[in-house]
Amino acid sequence: MAYFLIVRRLSDEALERLRAAADRPDLSGTRYTIREEIGRGGMGTVYLAEDAALERPVALKVLTLESSGNAGAEAARLLREARVMARLEHPGLVPVHDAGTLPDGRVFYAMKHVRGRRLDEYARSGPSLVDRLAVFRKICDAVAFAHAAGVVHRDLKPENVMLGGFGEVLVLDWGVARSTEDPVEPGGTVVGTRAYMAPEQADGRTDLVDARTDIHALGVILRDLLAAAPAPDAAAARALGAVARRAMAPRPEDRYPSVPDLSADVGRFLEGEVPSAHRETPFERVGRFIRRYRTPIALVLAYLAMRAAILIFFGR
């Protein structure tokens, strides 16, 4: 039995190596040389490559062999993803350098090679609440820019956000993004990742999928970031929980009207104010006042304690 398992494992590994070798794109006659495979999805494989013309590393996304046989639909989708990314020039979005067709007939595009870690990996590393919320607001900035350009991502999730080594926060994978210029997809079309889908997206209500659909996904991301480490106190947890719940409201009209509105509510919390989504209790209001002015309050209390001590000492 053990022998059979070893042979089967070796066979699986050999088949995987053969599959990877067969899928390796033909870059002859191009300016690119593959270094290694760094990612794989349902539509394309991403390679770390060297751009000989500019002498720099790039990430090369190439249509897989399986997808290339799909009557050109996946090829058009990959090129469309490249065009969407190319038109969205923002520090929070990966720039596209090149796109075209390889000698083997497969389409590709070259983009900046992002060094860093995914948002879910970052969240598990134990950053402070303030740092997590600052990262979240940078994600919001990039998504808001895309919305202003008429583009809805439709697959926002921690795995599609990368943090660079110098504070960059980049939103990746625009393969299923939709533009307001695109025709409405047939009803029943469902794309994205189930755990982050808004109800209208999961139900295939393509006529209702818009910027508020991305707001729902951002709410789930915020909830995940809050779950990665507890808030400093119950009041903070309730306030931020209310923000996430409003963003994730089942009905689109009950969510934040725009991504900047969602980001602004997180900003209110960071500034010691009350998010619009949260109804503060009197006890929470007192606690927030004390936290916000703890230094002057401490000085006043120390002064009063000193005066009381002096009065007691000299009153003997």
Structure tokens at 58: 């790039």
User: Would you say 77 and 43 are in contact if contact means Cβ atoms under 8 Å apart?
Assistant: yes
- Length of the chain as a residue count: 316
Burial bucket for residue 239 (CB in 10 Å: 0-12, 13-18, 19+): buried
Q: Which amino acid is at 33?
A: T
Q: Map tokens 């916000």 to a residue.
A: 292
Q: Which tokens go with 46?
A: 């991403």
Is 182 an active-site residue?
no
Q: Which is the catalytic residue, given 51, 155, 173, 265?
A: 155
* 303 CB-near residues (< 8 Å, 6+ apart): none
Burial label for 268, CB within 10 Å (0-12, 13-18, 19+), is: middle
> How far is 163 from 169, CA to CA, in rounded Å?
5
Element (H, E) at 56: strand 56-63
Do the bridges between strand 107-112 and strand 56-63 make them parallel or antiparallel, or are there none, so unpaired? antiparallel
CA atoms within 13 A on the CB side of 288: 21
Closest Cα to residue 88, out of 154, 146, 17, 163?
146
Distance CA 274, CA 240 (A): 10
- For the sheet containing 32-40, what is the strand order? 32-40, 44-51, 56-63, 107-112, 96-101
DSSP state letters, 100-138? EE-TTS-EEEEEE---EEEHHHHHHT---HHHHHHHHHH
The residues that are catalytic are: 155
